[in-house]
Amino acid sequence: MSQRQAELLRLRDLLDHMETSLDQLDWTDDPHSIHYLAETILRDLEVSRRVCMQVHRRAKLAVVN
């Protein structure tokens, strides 16, 4: 599996996880659960941003070369 394929797979996994967390956030009223799920989504967003930046950097290098 190429690096790009691995990164895209990681992004898909993160998006699936965020979707699950969002579904749970939608139906819970418990403040502790809301806090935990919001933190989980924020963490997934940050990891997604880093993976996207890696994909972006790699594409930029490919254009330069």
Ordered per-residue pLDDT tens for the chain, 65 residues: 899 999 999 999 999 999 999 999 999 999 999 999 999 999 999 999 999 999 999 998 888 87
CB atoms within 10 A of CB 48: 17
- Residue of 16, 20, 15, 17 lying closest to 28 (CA atoms): 20
| Residue 34: strand, helix, or coil | helix
Q: What is the DSSP letter of 28?
A: -
Is residue 37 within 8 Å of 50, Cβ to Cβ?
no
**Whole-prediction pTM value?**
0.87
Residue 57's pLDDT is: 94
- Ordered by start, the domain boundaries in the chain are 3-64
- Say which residues have a Cβ less than 8 Å from residue 28's Cβ, sequence separation at least 6: 34, 37
